[in-house]
Amino acid sequence: MPKLLVVDDKPSNLLAIEALVQHLIPESEVITALSGTEGLEIAKKESPDTILLDIQMPVMDGYEVCQRLKGDEKTKHIPIILVTAIQTDTQSRIKGLEIGADAFVAKPIEEGELAAQINAMLRIRKSQGQLQAEKEDFKEREQARARELRESEEKYRTITENSPDVIMRFDKQLRHVYISPNILGLSGRTAEEYMGKTHQEVGYPPDLCRCLEEAINRTFITGQQQELEYEFPSQNGLIFVSLRLKPEFAPDGTVESVIGVSHDVTERKKLEDQLRQAQKMEAIGTLAGGIAHDFNNILGIIIGYSELTLEDMSEGSIQQQNLRQVLSAAQRAGDLVKQILAFSSKSEEERRPIFVSHVTNEALKMLRSTLPATIDIQTEIEEKKVPVMANPTQVHQVIVNLGTNASYAMRESGGVLKVALKGVTIDSQNIKQKDLPPGRYLRLTISDTGQGMEPSVVERIFEPYFTTKKPGEGTGLGLSVVHGIVKSHGGDIQVSSKPGKGTSFFVYFPVTEAVAAPGAEPVEAVPGGNEHILFVDDERSLAEMGKHLLERLGYKVTVRTSSIEALEAFRKFPHRYDLVITDQTMPNMTGTQLTRELINIRADIPVILCTGFSDTVSKENYKAMGIREFVMKPIIKKNIARIIRDVLG
């Protein structure tokens, strides 16, 4: 029968949680504590299978209780679920994880989530018990092996020399008195090169020698097993090694030698790193979705009022030219938000045949306006009309990120930023590229004359969160995003750099046979109308901007900043409106919920849904909800004008 401990300073909470747990886990035994101190005592005495621990308690809060439990040898393995009063309290969760909490449940407690969390913790506890039993079993086997080794040296050699691990023995002078022959595959040195020598005499790096010898000495002094992991410069590069040191006792009870078992755990470390990275990227996706809605609303206001103001300006004036630059930058910011959302959700952005030369020139204009005058930009564009299948916004980001990265390397003394575009053919006779199939490619080269990089930095340059910049100057995501974009386009990116010699990035895009669109799109007339539109958005500035924009197109517009008020207005006069345009993310009632209510009142009312980000609505499923059209924010005048006419027929 699983045993659960609930710690909360409020008796009413204890009774409620106890009843809930017994309802969800009928076979469980629930014990309670009214304070952190009492909880610690009961945990040590009863050793429960899981602890539900309230954070907000007087004298000793949940954080301190959790920290003490995790610091005690008797209780450190007990899974702890922290109960927080705030659903989205990220700081509390981070703090809890740092001190060892295993999970969180927010008040008010949701039954399904609590049941899932408790069952998960019980499975962890059960696995711990099985693991402990396995450890004890392994410990007994090692003791039996040690006895056998003392009885027969020949038997010892037979066992160790056939083991996949490297087994060694040390004397009190820390010298190797035995090492299995398979050390050759790990270190590139033969067993004979180790015999009778310390790690220092073998030629290990000083820091590694100190670490290993201290661990061996501790085993001799304490008579207790020691375990450590360390990086080892093997013949095949840097690897991770796990070393277990075990004492061998003489008949008088003293430690006469130490047995070491080394195991290559490089693959395990790589898997752990991949898991951590996956968790980080999941967090980025959550963050991106959270800010996309608000940020797109801000961009919508900037774009909308810019478009309205442009119409009132004299054609060809400097003010009009400046405002068009603002509008262009805001629209590109909207594209970048969409790209971040697509990147975080691993969805594909729209791609079409493009000329990279056009995107390069546009990106260099932006870079020139932001880089210091001490950096000279030089271009060598050989292939201006070679099409590639790509997303222009993503290619633009690749060039800007690499250019910005190059400028950072030249920030102190200036230099030359060179951008080249050349067509190449990859095959066995010409250019060789192990990560690309043979074929025609467009190679984009971005070089700088900056400080260059050490080989150890070059090896990690595309790792997420790896950066050589000072805190506050960079996140370490720029080159990782560039690498992901290039790979997703079927291309590859390489880097060449030496300290003091500058850096060059080589980006390969596969050439397509499709025909690229011309550089400039034809100017289309913006359609208008005279119908009556109900415009709904909880952001007042965005609602007012939408009203002005639609009125400029000739429509009669009624604005509501509350979905509840919009529903009431529609219910009073359902046939007054020809179209409803509504935001999705609103308090009290979302856009999809409002749509259902409107259709219940009047089945033929067309609805256009606008959103900056939504987990529930997409271009694939909006029609099933009764929505006529689905528009991603920020709203562009010519786009919304065309969509309105399409919907109204």
Q: Looking at the structure, do residues 85 and 192 belong to the same domain, yes or no? A: no
Question: Rounded CA gap, 561 and 541, in Å?
Answer: 10
Q: Which of 491, 522, 553 is the last residue of a domain?
A: 522
What is the predicted pLDDT for the residue at 287? 64
- How high does pLDDT run on average in the chain? 83
Residue 522 predicted with pLDDT over 50 = no
The answer to whether residues 232 and 207 touch, using CB atoms and an 8 Å cutoff, is: no
Lowest-pLDDT choice from 251-265, 287-301, 591-605: 287-301
Q: Looking at the structure, do residues 513 and 643 belong to the same domain, yes or no? A: no
Q: How confident is the model at residue 519 (pLDDT cuts 50, 70, 90)?
A: very low
For 633, phi and psi rounded to 5 degrees?
A: -75, 160
Is 299 within a domain? Answer: no
- Which DSSP letter does residue 192 get? G
What is the predicted pLDDT for the residue at 330? 80
Q: Looking at the structure, do residues 583 and 638 belong to the same domain, yes or no? A: yes
Count of H-run helices and E-run strands, the chain: 19, 22
User: pLDDT, tens digit, for every residue of 49-96?
Assistant: 899 999 888 889 989 999 999 898 888 889 999 988 765 567 777 888
- pLDDT average, residue stretch 147-153: 68
User: pLDDT, tens digit, for every residue of 155-177?
Assistant: 656 666 667 788 889 999 999 99
Q: Which of 227, 248, 264 is the last residue of a domain?
A: 264
Is 553 within a domain? Answer: yes
The answer to whether residues 118 and 50 touch, using CB atoms and an 8 Å cutoff, is: yes
Give the domain CATH number at 374: 3.30.565.10
Is 197 within a domain? Answer: yes
Domain that holds residue 580: 532-648
The answer to whether residues 562 and 570 touch, using CB atoms and an 8 Å cutoff, is: no
Question: Rounded CA gap, 562 and 570, in Å?
Answer: 12
Q: How confident is the model at residue 4 (pLDDT cuts 50, 70, 90)?
A: very high
- pLDDT average, residue stretch 268-273: 78
Q: Which two tokens stand for residue 295?
A: 């940020």
Is 143 within a domain? Answer: no
The answer to whether residues 29 and 3 touch, using CB atoms and an 8 Å cutoff, is: yes
Give the domain CATH number at 567: 3.40.50.2300
Q: Looking at the structure, do residues 494 and 541 belong to the same domain, yes or no? A: no
User: pLDDT, tens digit, for every residue of 101-134?
Assistant: 888 888 888 888 888 888 888 888 888 778 878 8
What is the predicted pLDDT for the residue at 167? 87
User: pLDDT, tens digit, for every residue of 321-367?
Assistant: 888 888 877 877 776 676 566 555 544 456 889 889 888 888 888 78
Question: Rounded CA gap, 228 and 511, in Å?
Answer: 51
What percentage of the chain has pLDDT greater than the value 90? 28
484 SS3 class: helix
Q: How confident is the model at residue 406 (pLDDT cuts 50, 70, 90)?
A: confident
Determine how many CB atoms are found less than 10 A away from the CB of residue 507: 25
Strands 503-510 and 492-497: antiparallel
Q: Looking at the structure, do residues 518 and 536 belong to the same domain, yes or no? A: no
What is the predicted pLDDT for the residue at 84? 81
Angle at 474 between CA 453 and CA 334, to 5 degrees: 125
- pLDDT average, residue stretch 527-553: 91
Give the domain CATH number at 164: 3.30.450.20
What is the predicted pLDDT for the residue at 601? 95
Residue 280 predicted with pLDDT over 80 = no
Q: Looking at the structure, do residues 512 and 373 belong to the same domain, yes or no? A: yes
The answer to whether residues 189 and 182 touch, using CB atoms and an 8 Å cutoff, is: no
Q: Looking at the structure, do residues 56 and 177 belong to the same domain, yes or no? A: no
Is 606 within a domain? Answer: yes
Strand order in the sheet with 492-497: 375-381, 415-426, 439-448, 503-510, 492-497
Q: Looking at the structure, do residues 509 and 375 belong to the same domain, yes or no? A: yes
User: pLDDT, tens digit, for every residue of 187-235?
Assistant: 888 889 999 999 999 888 898 899 999 999 999 999 999 999 888 887 7
76 SS3 class: coil
Q: Which two tokens stand for residue 626?
A: 């009764």
Q: Looking at the structure, do residues 236 and 358 belong to the same domain, yes or no? A: no
Is 139 within a domain? Answer: no
Quick one: which H or E segment has residue 488?
A: helix 478-488
Q: Looking at the structure, do residues 504 and 564 belong to the same domain, yes or no? A: no
Q: Which of 522, 545, 576 is the last residue of a domain?
A: 522
Domain count, the chain: 4
Q: Looking at the structure, do residues 359 and 449 belong to the same domain, yes or no? A: yes
DSSP 431-479: B--TTS-SEEEEEEEEEE-S----HHHHHHTTSTT---SPTTS--S-HH
Quick one: which H or E segment has residue 170?
A: strand 166-170
Is 341 within a domain? Answer: no
Is 378 within a domain? Answer: yes
Q: Looking at the structure, do residues 162 and 208 belong to the same domain, yes or no? A: yes
